[in-house]
Each structure stands twice: as C-alpha cells, then as structure tokens.
Structure 1
Amino acid sequence: MRAKTTVTSGLIQEEPNFKRVLTLPSLVFYGLAYLIPTTIFDMYGIVSNITHGMFSLTHALTAIAILFTAFSYGSMVAAFPVSGSAYTYAQQAINPYIGFLTGWTVMMDYLLVPMLSYVIAANYMNAIFPEIPNWIWILGLTVLVTTISYVGINVTAKVNNIIVLVQLFIIAIVTIFLIKFIAQGGGMGSFFSWDVFVNTSEFAKPEVGWGVIFTGASILVLSYFGFDAVTMVAEEAINPRVNVPRAVLIICAGAGLLFTTVSYLMLLAWPAGWSEFTDVNTGALELFKKIGLGILAVIYPFFTIIGAIAGPLAAQTSCSRMLCKMGGDRIIPKFFGYIHPKKATPTNSILFIGSLSLTALFLDVKTVISLVNFGALFGCTFVNISVIFYYFIKQKKRKGINIVRYLLFPSIGAIITLFFLYKLDMYAKTAGLIWLTVGVIYLGLNTNFFKKLPPELNMNEMKG
C-alpha cells in the first residue's frame, strides 16, 4: 500500500501508514492464534454429546465445507490486498451499501470475541481462586491485550507465535498420550475403526442422522475462521497478493487436518464418552484423566488464560484494522482512521476496543455467542458472493477452470454459510438481525436515506 500524502503550508507531508512486516509463517500463526488450537478440547464434550460420538466426522465435514469460503477469501485478497477484508470485498465487488453492512455485521463478531474470551477465562480462574472477583481477571486481560496490540504488529506477531507454539505443544502431548493409551489396549485398542468415525448404530436412528451432524457443525464452524482474521492484516503482510491467500488455505486445511485427526484419536480412546461424561462442558478433563494425563486436567484451566490472550489479541488487531479502514473512508467517524506515526498501528481503534471490552462483565454470554456466530457467517456469505460479482460478472472470467473458481466454488461456499446461518437458533438470528437493522438505520442517516453513496476506497491505495 502506497503512503498517502498531504499538502500543508506548501510542504508535502507523508501520512502515517501500516508497515509490511508479516511473513507467511507469521500470517499462519496469527490466524491460528485467532482460532485457538486448544479449542478442540473445549468443544470435545459438547459436540461429541450433540453428535452422539461423531465429533471427528463433524470436524472433517465442517473443514471441507469451510474450505470453499477460504478459497473465496484468498481470491478476494489477491484482488484487494488491504485491511478491510469482507467490508472491502463487498464494497468493491457489489456496492458500497452492501460493503458497509457486511463490515458492520462482521465488526460485531470481532468486537465481541475478546469479551467472550475474557469472561470464559475469568470464570475458569474464579473457580480456582474464588477470592479474586471476575472483574479483576477481565480488567487485567483487557489491559494486557490492549497494551500488546497498541505497541505494534511486530510485538503482536511475536506474542501470538509464542502462544500458538505453547498450544500446539499441549496438543502434541495429548496426542502422544492418546496414541500410547490406545496402543496399550485402551479404548478401542485399535487405530482403525469406521464405527468410531461414523457411529453407524447411532447414525441410523431417526432422531440422529444428519440433523445432529449439522447442529454440531454450526458450532464447530467458528473454529475455522482464523483465515478471516489474516485478511484483516493484509496491509501489514509482505507480498500480500501471494502470501495472504496461501496463509488462508494453510490455516483452514491445516486446522481441519489437525482437528479431525486428534478428535478421531480422542474418540478411539473413549468411544462411549459422549454418553458417559459427568459434565459435557469438561469432557476433555475427564478424558485427560482416563489416558493418564491427570496433571493436565488439573492445570488445563490455567491454559485458558493463554487462549484468552491470543484469541482476543488477534481479534482486537483485526477489528482495529477494519475500524481504521472504515474510519479512513469516513463511513464511520474519522477518529477511527488514525494511524500512529511511529507505532504504525490504529491506536484510536485499539483503545476504543479495549475500553469496550471492559463491559464484558455485564454481558450475557449467550447473547455474545449468538452475535459472534451471526456476524462471522454473514460476512463469509457476502465474501463468497463478492467473488462471483467481481471475477465472474465484472471481470468476465467465465471460461474453462474460471467457471469452477469464480462461480461454482463461491456458490457452494455461499450456500453452505447460508445453511449454517439458517441452522443457528432463533435467538441468534433475532439478535443478529437487530444488529443489522441498527446498521441499516445508521447507513441511512449517513447517506441522506440512501440518496447518495457512502465514500468508496481510494483504488490507488490498493496498488503496491
């Protein structure tokens, strides 16, 4: 992205801008930090119970389904390597109204992810240290994450890398113990079992079947959206037209392979666990004890603090870039478009998100989860549609393999994400539609009730 210039008192001055410092590995680790690899343990009990033991099958199908949307993100960031992500893509490919509403809805997702992580981590820690109130943990995490994000993308990337490595180390240790347990005759006593993967006896029941798989997938789908966060920092990536699309596909495919494999081993170790959990919310802790990892069951709550730093840090970084882009376009107050001249970070947006996160203690967790689900899936749907509008319709790439790349794949992606939206409960859809309605009203007031277009991105800024 080329630097902007302004003329003041006859002097040409260069405005602050983002710095391209993120390599391909840094982008991959950044996306992994957002999706939080150890979330596989948090979801194990809940989704295994919902799907009657078909946790691994659900992960595999969810990963395949989301790959179509990941491909769409990669296609769009190659055309628009800027920090607005879904907002920019829909704005440029469809029209500015749709762009704003897409950005508005996705922004809800990124604003609330930090709050949700803080509340969950605070609840874990309060159970261990009941004498310390939740607000202390929330305040401490908010200040820590905001400070790291404020300092600069280099520090953010380094912290994310360290945290992701720690989480992957935990997964590696659990995997080793699972393999050892199964090899010694525990669980199925074998590494190959189709019944564990599909659970044919349960799947055949009328009340089970594909219905429970789709319900489980609608929960797991958010475990794969780290690639969305990567597109938000495209302006800070080295060679973004190449590295960001690669990172997007590596994150989605890599997470799918990792989650499917580890979840399969978890099911082999305890095939009937889905119906035997004492508490589905802590199913993984029960599994750890069963395979000889009792110490991890004791200290695992402490590792939620790690996730409560990495996930919110990536979310806050991504959301601040979207707010900065929208503020720079004057579609929201220009206050948000400020970039610190030395730190090269959108400090106003970062501090705003940090301040907003302090309200986490007063939020209903169910409401937050509902809005996060709606915002993420809504944004993904319009990114898929943007590929069709930009490449197939506007660029007229309609021959040979382009029909598959720019019509078939994004169409499948859009249908899948719309289906997941449909599968959200009524509470989630109602909450999301209320937020979307607020965005429509705001947009109407700022465009003279749609009689004029909102500002568009300066296309010259997208070169470089």
Structure 2
Amino acid sequence: MTTTSAPTSLDRHLGLPGVVMFGLAYMAPLIVLGTFGIVAGTTGGAVPSAYLLALVAMLFTAASYGKMAAVHPVAGSAYTYVRKSVDSRLGFLVGWAVLLDYFFLPMVIWLIGGAYLSAEFPSVPGWLWLITFIVLTTLLNVLGIKVAAKANFVLMAFQILVIGFFVVLSIKQVLSDCGGLASTDPFFHTGTSLSTVSGGAALAAYSFLGFDAVTTLTEETIEPRKTIPRAILLTALIGGAVFIVLAYFTQLAHPGSTFDDESSAAFEIATKIGGNLFASFFLAGLVVAQFASGIAAQASASRLMYAMGRDGVLPRLFAYLQPRLKTPAVGIVLTGLVGLIALALDVSTSTSFINFGAFTAFTFVNVSVIATWLRERHTTPRPILTWVVAPAIGALVDLWLLVNLDGIALIFGLSWLALGVLYLCVLTRLFRRPPPEMTFED
C-alpha cells in the first residue's frame, strides 16, 4: 500500500515581474489618493514632499531587507532575519509584533473597500461588501500563488489605467487654469515646514508597506537570492515614483489643503477635474486597488504564520499545506476569519494596529544587517558603509517613526507586545530555553 505524505515545501513559480507586481499590489498605488486629504492637511499642501521624504527613508530599510533576503532566502521576513542574525527570542517578539501588521492589514483593506462601496451604494448593507471581499480574496489565495499573481496583474493594470487618467485630467485642469506644469509649490511653499513635512512623511510611510511583503514569497520565487533583493528595491522605487508623480499633479490641480472632507478629498478632486462620470470610474479604481491589495496582504500574512508554525513557535497546524494546491490554507482561512472583526471596528481604530508592527520590524531588520556584519566580519568581509552605516541610519529613521505614532497605536502595540512576552515566557519556560526552531531548507 502506497501512502502519500503531505507536502513540506512551497512550489517555486514566481519570477521578478510577478514578485514586483505582488509588492506593488500590496502597496496599492491608488492609496496615495485615498489618503491625499489627510496628508495634505498635515503638510499644509505639500504632499509630494512627504512622499519624497518617506521614499528616501524607506530605501535605507529596503536595502537592508534585500541584504537579509539574500543571506536567508526562506519565508518569514523580519521574523526569520532577526532570529537567525540576533537572537531566537527577539526574533519571536519581532514576529509577534509583525503579526499586527500582517494579520490586521487585510482586515483594514477590506474595511476601506467596503466603506467606498457603502458610500456609493448606501442601500446595500456594508457587511455584505466586507464579506464579499473576504470570500473572494480567500478563495483566490487558497487556489494558489499562481492564480493570485495572475489576478493581481489584471487588477494592477486597471489601477494603472485609473492613475493615468487622473494624471492626464489633472494636467488638463492645471492648463485650463493657466497654471504651469513645472512648479516647486507642491513640494514647499509658505505655510509648510520641515516639521509638517516630516509629520506627513510618517503618515506616507504607511503606503510603503508592500516592499517588505515580497520577502514572504521567497520560497515560491525562482532564484530567490537574486530575485528577492531586486524585487524589494524595485517595489520601493517604482511605488515611490508613482506616489510622488501622482501627488505632484494632484497637488497642482488642487493647491493647498482645504477640502469639504479630508477623508474623501480624492473624490472631490476627481469630480472637479473629470465630472461625475470620472468620479464613478475613480471609485471603481479605488475598489479594485483595495481588492488587489487584499489578495497580496492575505497571502503574506498566511506565509508568515506558515514560517512560525513550521518552527513550532506557533501551533504546527499553521505549517499545514493543502496537499493538492500546496498553499498554507490554515493561515489564509484564519486571516479571512479575522477580517470579520471589521464588522465591529472603524478604519481609524483598525489602522492603529498596523504601523506599530511595521516600524518595529523595519527597525530590527536594519539591526539584523549590522549583527550579521559583526558576526561574519572575519569570515565574510563586507563594506562598512552599506552593512553598518546605511542600516544604522535606517534603524534610527524607523525608530523615530515608531515613537512618533499616535497614542492609540502605541497603546495597542505595546499591549500586544506584552502579550507576546507572556506567551514567550510560557514557550521558553521562563526564558530557560530558546523558542522551538527547525532547520529551514532552501
């Protein structure tokens, strides 16, 4: 009698374009318009400067993620890098903090998408939109990364189309107002300052959370030691360029930071530059962006749980792969179920969970690069500038962003981290032994 064992590794299907597209879908380029009014209000009408500063800051961390992905080409992202480069217990706590980001980001994405549709179709119950988002994205991710990646290509193409129309109509609006297309006002003008732009950059950094998500696809990527580092930098650079260009022309078309409602400023601008028809088209684009981003976010969350379950840090049930599709179905379904919590939350409360985990992970990935240099400096010489100085700058920037989060984010984040410390105490018998760990296979 022949028995078939369950699969123990993920299949490699993705090349550089697929990984980059997944990262960009996670970032959802249209999010710059969804949050335009809020960032404009913080910066006093200098949104492009906020995204430019955020891009420069994130590139330091993106470079560190690329280095660690080349050294450790396995799933797990920041959790894996810290536990292998610094300490297994600290790695667990970083992974625990990252769960806030990965676990709740899909929920926030689905919540925002449902809110857009509820505003346009108030007669349809909001819970119906939310459940539809959850069911469709969960189904696509369970079917496999190849199916999800193909869906993302189509959805990203539509996003790019909407962005193109928005830029063209913004240019048309500026020219009809007899304005010039080359101006420094969107970047800096009377009423803005370094402190206001820095505050806007802290908000804008949220839009860059996709570049690190591609590291969770390492074990499904062809030649990951080369592909993943390139994909990380390309995702950050392409996403940042789109953010800056889109913000620049939008700020030209609507100077300043005065809106009827900051949270729906993009709709106001879309109606101004293209009328009601384009506003409807723009709404469709925003919904598509949220759907694509939800696919990528849920896929990344499930793969983080897969890595932690495979180590035995989380219950080993999370390391289960669906035998035929070879997808981490338990994590995918659980993330979908967590999304149902959005039925009792609002967007602002939900997003409070996310940035704490993200900036914690960013800080410690930079620390991991320095730790790797210290540990291997005698056997593997590496440049101090790129392996010590640059990640140190990245860590300081990320730490600054972390401590400048609002009070709600810090309270929720620290409370979640305290629960992680208690769980780690139990797991390690009061820190007398390291957390469970297994050897990762390439």
User: What range is the shorter-chain TM-score in?
Assistant: over 0.9
Partners of 1:260 and 1:177 in 2: CA distance? 17
Note the C-alpha offset of 1:299. Answer: 3.7
Counterpart in the other structure of 1:111: 103
- Shift in alpha-carbon separation, 1:217–1:398, aligned structure 2, 3 A: farther
Match of 1:280 in 2: 262
1:181 is the counterpart of 2:173? yes
> Within 2, Cα distance between the matches of 1:193 and 1:130?
40
Aligned counterpart, 1:75: 67
Q: Does the 8 Å CA contact 1:18/1:345 hold for their aligned counterparts?
A: yes
Structure 2 CA distance for aligned equivalents of residues 400 and 35 of structure 1: 35
5 Å-filtered alignment, 1:337-416, equals: 337-390=319-372, 392-396=373-377, 402-416=383-397
Following superposition, the deviation at residue 337 of structure 1 comes to 0.5
Structure-1 separation of matches of 2:16 and 2:93? 30
> Are 1:194 and 2:194 counterparts?
no
Aligned-pair CA distance for 1:14: 7.4
Q: Give SS of 1:190's match.
A: coil
Asked if 1:140 corresponds to 2:132, the answer is yes
Deviating 4+ runs (over 4 angstroms):
9-14, 397-401
Alpha-carbon distance in 2 for matches of 1:118, 1:290: 27
Partners in 1 of 2:94 and 2:26 — Cα distance? 20
> 1:10 Cα deviation (Å)?
12
Aligned to 2:160: 168
What is the CA-CA distance between 1:13 and the residue it aligns to? 5.7
Q: Residue 138 of structure 1: CA displacement?
A: 1.3
The separation in 2 between residues aligned to 1:186 and 1:125, in whole angstroms, is 32
By how many angstroms is 1:308 displaced? 2.7
1:31 equivalent to 2:23? Answer yes
Taking the aligned partners of 1:398 and 1:261, their CA distance within structure 2 comes to 44
CA 1:13–1:279: 2 relative to 1, 3 Å? closer
1:12 positional shift: 10
Distance 1:84 1:93, change over 3 A: same
Residues in 1 aligned to 2:198 and 2:218: alpha-carbon distance in whole angstroms: 32
Letter in 2 for 1:223: S
Count residues with an aligned counterpart: 442
RMSD: 1.9
Residue 178 of structure 1 and its aligned partner are, at CA, apart by 2.0
Where does the alignment leave 5 or more consecutive residues of structure 1 unmatched?
1-8, 204-208
Question: Structure 1 residue aligned with 2:406, among 409, 425, 441?
Answer: 425
In 1, Cα distance between equivalents of 2:16 and 2:325 = 22
- Write the deviation string for residues 67-114 of structure 1: whole angstroms up to 9, x where unpaired: 000000000000111110001000000011011111111111111111
Task: State how far apart, in whole Å, the 2-side matches of 1:393 and 1:79 are.
Answer: 14
How far apart, CA to CA, are the structure 1 residues paired with 2:6 and 2:325? 15
Q: Give a deviation string over 1:282-337, Cα, whole Å, max 9, x none.
A: 22222223323542223433333312321121111011111011111111100001
Structure 1 pair 342–359 and aligned structure 2 pair: CA distance change class (3 A):
same
Contact kept in structure 1, 2:103 and 2:301, CA below 8 Å: yes
Question: Is the counterpart of residue 124 in structure 1 residue 116 in structure 2?
Answer: yes
The 8 Å contact of residues 78 and 242 in structure 1, kept in 2 or not, is answered as: yes
1:30-85 Cα offsets, whole Å, 9 max, x none, are 00110101111112111111101110111111101100000000000001111100
Structure 2 residue 58 is matched with structure 1 residue 66: yes
SS at match of 1:197: coil
> Structure 1's 289 and 11: CA in aligned 2 closer, same or farther, altered over 3 A?
closer
CA separation in 2, counterparts of 1:395 and 1:159?
A: 42
Partner in structure 2 of residue 257 of structure 1: 241
The residue that corresponds to 2:35 in the other structure is 43
- The residue matched to 1:306 in structure 2 has which SS? helix
CA distance in 2, matches of 1:295, 1:102: 46
Matches within 5 A, 1:139-158: 139-158=131-150
Q: Is the 8 A contact 1:141 1:308 kept in 2?
A: no
Identify the residue that residue 296 of structure 1 maps to in structure 2.
278
1:269 equivalenced with 2:238 (yes/no): no
2:206 pairs with 1:222: yes
For 2:110, the aligned partner's letter is: Y
CA distance in 1, matches of 2:244, 2:378: 35
2:226 equivalent in structure 1:
242
The code of the aligned residue for 1:371 comes to F
TM-score, normalised by the number of residues in structure 2: 0.96
**2:216 alignment counterpart:** 232
- Unpaired segments ≥5 residues, structure 2: none
What is the distance in 2 between the residues matched to 1:304 and 1:196? Answer: 23
What's the offset of the Cα at 1:128?
2.3
User: Which digits, 9 at most, give the CA deviation of each residue in 1:90-144, with x for residues without a partner?
Assistant: 0000011011111111111111111112222222222222222111111111111
In structure 2, do the counterparts of structure 1 residues 115 and 12 end up closer, same or farther at CA, with 3 Å as the change threshold?
closer
TM-score calculated relative to the size of structure 1:
0.91
- Structure 2 SS opposite 1:278: coil
